[in-house]
Amino acid sequence: MRGVWVHGVGAVTPLGGSWAETSSALAAGACAVGPVRGFDASGFPSRHAAVVAQDFPGEDRRAALALRAAREAFAAAGLHRTDPRRIGVFVGAESGRPPFATFAALARAAGPGPGLDHARFCAEAASRARDLDSRVHSPAAVAARLAAEVGAKGPVATLSLACASGAAAIAEAARAVSLCECEVALAGGVGADVDALMLAGFGLLGALSESGVSRPFDRRRDGFVLGEGAAMVVLGSERGFARVAGIGRTLDAASLTAPGGNGGLRAMRLALAAAGLRSVDVVQAHGTSTPLNDAAEAQALREVLGGGSLVSSIKGALGHAIAAAGALGFLAAVEAIRSGLVFPTAGLQEPDDDGGALPHVLQRAITRRVDSALVNAFAFGGANCSLVVTRE
Amino acid sequence: MSAPVAIAGAASVSAFGIGFRGLGQAIASGALRPRESVLLRESHPGTLASEVPPIPAALDAGDARSRKLMSRAARLSAIALREALAAAGFDDRREQIGAFMGVGASGLAMEDVPAIVSASLDAGAFSLPRLGDRGLLACNPLFTFQTLNNFSLCHGAILEGLGGPNAAFFSRGSGTAVALAEALHAVRAGDCDRALAGGADTALHPLTWAELQRGGFAAQGLLPGEGAAVLALAQEAARPIGWLESCAAIGAGEDAALLDLPARAELVVLAPWGAPPRAALTELAGSRYPGAAIVDLSRCLGDSLAAAPALAWVVALDLLRPGERAVVLTCGVDGEVTAAVFAGALR
């Protein structure tokens, strides 16, 4: 198998319309979390989120975000002469949704009553056919749109692994490049879940922060804050500025909602072993700010790395972008390799040191030479993906 | 060509019930016929479909509590995963077994909708704040998880203790072939010595069927179906039921030569979504393998979206004789064509 290198990156996040803007803001310690303003969330369990300020009228929000990130990554990579049949596209995405007004109208048509009024529901659905077009809201629609944008005619796949989707898509792309299934792969993730349905749904689970603050690994953490955005990378077999050196994928097989077993720990160990490393300089942690995830991840990091690696989580600043989260973390790790910039964990002021202190990056970015980084993405349902990125 | 990988066992849930032995013959003989869908009776009365019959309690997935958290696809998937593990005798080191599934959009339970609406009304009008603090309390509190596609993989993985490398590919056909190709690679490369791969989905959700109707697929002969099927791959198997040689997918309109089909096959199983791809796949099979037996399962099992290729694979394994080779060709509603190549057990 051949080496897989990063040639370009791109992102649209609540902190910027490009990775360069986002990176600068993250380095400055900025935080995008704020009150939800797009709809009336006053009755919701959590009323804060990190939102991309831009609207995309007439476009599926996921596709719009991913497209802009992909354009940036592809332009940065400068690989336009690649045979289209040798370009693959791998996207981590979940289902999109119609506008909430459409949901509300359908719900009104369906009831209230002792049961669902199918006739009225279907009549309302028919009148809103354009908003309900499954081809637009399909998870696969994003990858298809990106393939059309860059003219890719190689393998196209959509990974739907919840919070691990973006990282898993990069892993799948790296596999395809290493096995010569394609020369160049556009890969990453997109999440656009700051809507009433998901805010209420995750809130009901008790997963969201009632305080409205994302504080990964902090003693006061009380849940995650929803975010959104897209992060894309261009991978290829020729030497680039960072190498995908190791991949580890496991299942917890324990719980739908809580980390359990040792799945995360095993994923990290597998990725490190594949890279031929025992430790790394930096960890871009999953770090969601939920009590259970952060405690389990911190303990796994202590066991695997012994507390010697800098630990950072960008979810303090960007919230949890679900299917994009792992790809955003990957970009942060690549940035550490490329520029030596290790982002601080926004919101982290009182590290939860139960079990032993970890070298968190607090308040200010650290600049130093980084030769290796580990990225974690752990999903609801127990799917884990860890990636190791190296300079050589 | 890379070395084939042993298939230690397989399982399926379909209109034929739980199990795949005899399914091929039932299709070939025309004994398995579409019936009026029970699941679509309220929303689309009179719809002919290929529907999984009532599942005996003893064979159902998990317990009543866990089933409440499952979409129908996740439930079918969990049964197929369990049965495939049993068939393959994968009883030990479950935490090392890989799991790769093609999954569809799981779909919210329709019965939650009236409950949500009733609780969300404020002075007769639908209120968003009231939805937030009361409406959603009236429905399954874990409904969010029914919108996450990976749960068709994860429910079964949790119930069976699967902990190895994994992926859930969104699929309306080809993603399921990618899942099998990924499992094949994982076993060959030693990422795991055993892996499960398959697909699970249902087209018998009122919204899914409405979308397929609106997309024009129903008018072109798409029979809605549902099911799940799983293959158990192993680096070593004492009594393999067959061998997987390759699996590939190509995009809509691409040259079938890219599928890299073998020169010889005695059996071709087709799973086209409807009439247009049926003609194309039949022509491809007939011209490429003029002496082969051709079985088209779409008239009996319909199109079960992410499950369709996997059901076609187990049909091939059911019909395949030792020393023979089978090619399974599928075409989902997105127009992508997949090809999986199997060899009979003798080797």
Distance separating alpha carbons of residues A329 and A344, to the nearest angstrom = 13
* Residue B143 scores a pLDDT above 70: no
Q: Which two tokens stand for residue A52?
A: 């991309």
Chain A residues with CB inside 8 Å of B171's CB?
A: 140
Let me know if A133 is exposed, middle or buried by CB neighbors in 10 A (0-12, 13-18, 19+).
middle
Strands A372-378 and A383-390: antiparallel
Distance separating alpha carbons of residues B103 and B80, to the nearest angstrom = 13
Helix axes A165-178, A325-339, angle to 10 degrees: 60
pLDDT tens per residue across span B247-257: 999 888 888 88
Chain A touched by B136 (CB under 8 Å): yes
Identify the CA nearest to A52 among candidates A318, A345, A322, A325: A318
Amino acid B56 reads P
pLDDT tens per residue across span A187-197: 999 999 998 88
| B136 contacts A204? CB cut-off 8 A | yes
Identify the CA nearest to B273 among candidates B314, B223, B227, B229: B223
* Residue A23 scores a pLDDT above 70: yes
Q: What is the pLDDT of residue A203?
A: 83
ipTM, two decimals, is: 0.89
Chain A touched by B169 (CB under 8 Å): yes
Q: Which two tokens stand for residue A150?
A: 């860059």
Distance separating alpha carbons of residues A214 and A163, to the nearest angstrom = 16
* Residue B69 scores a pLDDT above 90: no
Under 8 Å CB-to-CB from B54, ≥6 apart: which residues? none
Strands B293-296 and B267-272: parallel
Q: What is the pLDDT of residue B107?
A: 63
Q: What is the pLDDT of residue B257?
A: 84
Q: Which two tokens stand for residue B34?
A: 């579409």
Query: Which residue has tokens 């996207």?
Result: A91
Q: Is A288 helix (H, G, I), strand (E, B) or coil?
A: coil
pLDDT mean across residues, chain A: 92
φ, ψ dihedrals at A389, nearest 5° = -115, 140
Amino acid A192 reads A
Q: Please, are residues A301 and A309 in contact by the beta-carbon 8 Å criterion?
A: yes
* CB neighbours of residue A287 within 10 Å: 32
Distance separating alpha carbons of residues A245 and A253, to the nearest angstrom = 26
pLDDT tens per residue across span B171-188: 988 999 999 999 999 999
Distance separating alpha carbons of residues B180 and A335, to the nearest angstrom = 34
* Residue A258 scores a pLDDT above 90: no
Helix (H) or strand (E) holding A271: helix A263-275
Distance separating alpha carbons of residues B257 and A381, to the nearest angstrom = 39
Query: How near does any CA of chain B get to the CA of A381, in Å?
Result: 5
**Mean pLDDT of the A20-36 span:** 97
The DSSP secondary-structure symbol of A220 reads T
Q: Please, are residues B214 and B5 in contact by the beta-carbon 8 Å criterion?
A: no
pLDDT range class, residue B124, cuts 50, 70, 90:
confident
Distance separating alpha carbons of residues A53 and A194, to the nearest angstrom = 12
Query: How near does any CA of chain A get to the CA of B321, in Å?
Result: 32
Q: Please, are residues B155 and B68 in contact by the beta-carbon 8 Å criterion?
A: no
Under 8 Å CB-to-CB from A98, ≥6 apart: which residues? A128, A131, A132, A137
| A115 contacts B158? CB cut-off 8 A | no
| A251 contacts B163? CB cut-off 8 A | yes
**Mean pLDDT of the A311-321 span:** 98
Q: Which two tokens stand for residue A369?
A: 């030479």
Cis amide linkage into residue A98, ω under 30° from 0: no
Query: Which residue has tokens 């020369």?
Result: A183
Distance separating alpha carbons of residues A51 and A53, to the nearest angstrom = 6
Chain A touched by B280 (CB under 8 Å): no
| Residue B124 vs residue A186, higher pLDDT | A186
Distance separating alpha carbons of residues B338 and B336, to the nearest angstrom = 7
Angle at Cα B93 formed by Cα B89 and Cα B97, nearest 5°?
80
Q: What is the pLDDT of residue A345?
A: 98
Q: Which of A107, A114, A168 lies nearest to residue B116, judging by beta carbons?
A: A107
Distance separating alpha carbons of residues B318 and B194, to the nearest angstrom = 21
Q: Which of B111, B147, B150 lies nearest to residue A379, judging by beta carbons?
A: B150
* Residue A118 scores a pLDDT above 80: no
| A157 contacts B117? CB cut-off 8 A | no
| A112 contacts B114? CB cut-off 8 A | yes
CA-based torsion, B119, B123, B126, B130: positive or negative: negative
Chain A touched by B157 (CB under 8 Å): yes
Size of interface A-B (CB pairs under 8 A): 214
Q: Can you give the three-state secondary structure of A147-206, one letter per residue?
A: HHHHCCCCCEEEECCHHHHHHHHHHHHHHHHHCCCCCEEEEEEEEECCCHHHHHHHHHCC
**Mean pLDDT of the B68-79 span:** 92
Under 8 Å CB-to-CB from A122, ≥6 apart: which residues? B43, B206, B210
Distance separating alpha carbons of residues A377 and A360, to the nearest angstrom = 18
| A379 contacts B114? CB cut-off 8 A | no
Identify the CA nearest to A237 among candidates A77, A117, A384: A77
The DSSP secondary-structure symbol of B208 reads H
Chain A residues with CB inside 8 Å of B251's CB?
A: 153, 156
| Best of A85, A117, A251, A387 to mutate (most B CBs within 10 Å, chain B) | A251
Residues 33-62 of B with CB under 8 A from A: 42-43
* Residue B271 scores a pLDDT above 80: yes
Q: Which of A93, A196, A205 lies nearest to residue B141, judging by beta carbons?
A: A205
pLDDT tens per residue across span B287-334: 999 999 999 999 999 999 999 999 999 999 999 999 999 999 999 998
Identify the CA nearest to A161 among candidates B150, B98, B147: B150
Query: How near does any CA of chain B get to the CA of A368, in Å?
Result: 33
pLDDT range class, residue A137, cuts 50, 70, 90:
confident
Residues of A with a known catalytic role: 163, 286, 320
Amino acid B326 reads A
Q: What is the pLDDT of residue A369?
A: 98
Q: Which of A115, A144, A160 lies nearest to residue B103, judging by beta carbons?
A: A160
Identify the CA nearest to B185 among candidates B263, B111, B244: B244
* Residue B84 scores a pLDDT above 70: yes
Q: Is A91 helix (H, G, I), strand (E, B) or coil?
A: strand
What are the C-alpha distances in Å from B272 to residues A166, A220, B305, B319, B334? 31, 55, 10, 19, 11
Q: Please, are residues A289 and A223 in contact by the beta-carbon 8 Å criterion?
A: yes
pLDDT tens per residue across span B91-105: 999 999 999 999 997
Which chain A residue has the Cα nearest residue B109?
A116
Query: How near does any CA of chain B get to the CA of A345, in Å?
Result: 27
- Percent of chain B residues topping a pLDDT of 70: 95
CA-based torsion, A64, A70, A75, A76: positive or negative: positive
